[in-house]
């Protein structure tokens, strides 16, 4: 990252740290809610970026892990098990396990087949949860209590939830940064470019892609755990394929295979979703058009444009 980039990151983090105080002062609690949701989506998009951006696999079922993470709050809470660490462990464990089991099958396919089979698994989970009446079925499940974390933390305080989400987002971005520049990351990126050659060099490419898939699933499970806490409600709709499609849109809009891209993409998505409906009913359409423009003219997403502009190559 450039020096200017680090400065920019520093200012952003500082702004994020001060935001709750401003929101309180300006009596705009709604802003905090918007940013919490934005950051949770950014975590989910970052996790998708690991497989979509860095490994080149388009999954149309990634939102299933958000659902799993959120149900990992909702279902225990339904039985009055509110221990946040337990719920978090369940969220990460079940997402990882589901990622492992489905990955063993999905990752044997490529391209359109991969898209279809990830979609199929996600829809399968969708219908499973629709059919479980106990947990609200189609109508979803209200989560009456947020996770209890102990250590003097109270997530019912929106400010504290905000800081927890912020810490998680930063941790995930640092993780993605380190991971994609590590030995493992080098393997993943090279497999994306030329898998046949990687095998000829002695790499069991399937194993590396599977590990990457599981890591991605677990990070998305974390996003789900946060989302369940935030919305206090979970329904099968959260894992619908349209949700997965939105995650893809965020990654591509912001800039695939970059650390900041998913955050940028989530910001654009939230911006469009929050502002455009006031102007037009058809905001999904405009988001779609924006996506097509970015896909057509800038392979690096908006982040790509921006960095090129910073370097002065596009001014």
Partner 1 sequence: MSHALEARGISRSFGGIHAVVDVDLRLAKGEIRAVIGPNGAGKTTLVGLLAGSLKADNGEIHLAQRNATRLPVHERVKLGLGRTFQITSLFGTLSVFENIAIAVQSYQGHSFRFWRPANRKSALIERVHELARDMGLEQDLHTPAETLSHGKHRLLELAMALAAYPSILLLDEPAAGLGIEETQNLIAILDHLKQDAAILLVEHDMDVVFSVADEVTVMVDGAIIATGSPDDIRSNQRAQQAYLGESGPDHA
Residues that bind partner 1 (CB under 8 A): 178-179, 181-187, 189-190, 193-194, 196-205, 208, 211
Q: How distant, in Å, are the alpha carbons of 20, 43, 132, 275, 296 from that of 52?
A: 33, 14, 31, 28, 17
The CB-of-242 to partner 1 minimum distance in angstroms stands at 32
Choose between 156 and 199: whose C-beta lies nearer to partner 1: 199
Choose between 65 and 208: whose C-beta lies nearer to partner 1: 208
Q: Are 134 and 75 in contact (CB under 8 A)?
A: no
Choose between 257 and 266: whose C-beta lies nearer to partner 1: 257
The CB-of-185 to partner 1 minimum distance in angstroms stands at 7
The CB-of-303 to partner 1 minimum distance in angstroms stands at 17
The CB-of-87 to partner 1 minimum distance in angstroms stands at 25
Residue 185, burial from CB neighbour count under 10 angstroms (0-12, 13-18, 19+): middle
Give, for 147, the enclosing helix (H) or strand (E).
none
Choose between 5 and 29: whose C-beta lies nearer to partner 1: 5
Give, for 203, the enclosing helix (H) or strand (E).
none
Q: Cα separation of 125 and 72, whole Å?
A: 14
Query: Looking up tokens 């800038």, which residue turns up?
Result: 298
The CB-of-35 to partner 1 minimum distance in angstroms stands at 29
Non-local CB neighbours of 21 within 8 Å, separated by 6+ positions: none
Q: Could you give phi then psi for residue 148, rounded to 5 degrees?
A: -95, 115
Residue 182, burial from CB neighbour count under 10 angstroms (0-12, 13-18, 19+): exposed
The CB-of-257 to partner 1 minimum distance in angstroms stands at 11
Choose between 177 and 284: whose C-beta lies nearer to partner 1: 177
Choose between 71 and 208: whose C-beta lies nearer to partner 1: 208
């Amino acid at each position: 990252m450039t020096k200017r980039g680090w400065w920019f990151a520093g200012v952003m983090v500082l702004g994020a740290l001060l935001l709750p105080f401003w929101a309180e002062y300006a009596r705009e609690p709604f802003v905090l809610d918007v940013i919490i949701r934005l950051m949770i989506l950014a975590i989910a998009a970052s996790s998708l970026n690991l497989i979509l951006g860095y490994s080149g696999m388009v999954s149309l079922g990634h939102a299933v892990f958000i659902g799993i993470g959120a149900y990992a709050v909702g279902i225990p809470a339904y039985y009055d098990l509110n221990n946040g660490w337990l719920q978090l462990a369940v969220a990460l464990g079940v997402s990882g396990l589901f990622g492992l089991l489905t990955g063993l099958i999905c990752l044997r396919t490529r391209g359109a087949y991969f898209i279809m089979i990830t979609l199929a698994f996600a829809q399968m989970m969708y219908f499973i949860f629709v059919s479980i009446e106990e947990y609200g079925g189609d109508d979803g499940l209200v989560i009456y209590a947020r996770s209890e974390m102990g250590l003097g933390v109270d997530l019912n305080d929106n400010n504290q939830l905000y800081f927890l989400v912020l810490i998680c987002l930063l941790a995930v971005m640092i993780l993605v940064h380190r991971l994609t520049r590590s030995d493992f990351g080098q393997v993943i990126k090279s497999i994306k470019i030329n898998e046949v050659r990687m095998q000829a060099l002695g790499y069991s490419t399937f194993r590396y892609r599977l590990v990457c898939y599981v890591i991605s699933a677990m990070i998305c499970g974390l996003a789900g755990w946060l989302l369940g806490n935030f919305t206090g409600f979970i329904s099968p709709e959260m894992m619908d394929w349209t949700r997965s499609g939105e995650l893809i849109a965020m990654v591509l809009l912001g800039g695939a295979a970059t650390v900041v891209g998913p955050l940028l993409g989530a910001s654009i998505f939230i911006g469009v979703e929050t502002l455009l409906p006031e102007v037009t009913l058809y905001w999904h359409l405009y988001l779609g058009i924006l996506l097509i423009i970015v896909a057509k003219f800038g392979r690096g997403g908006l982040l790509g444009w921006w960095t090129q502009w910073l370097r002065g190559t596009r001014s």
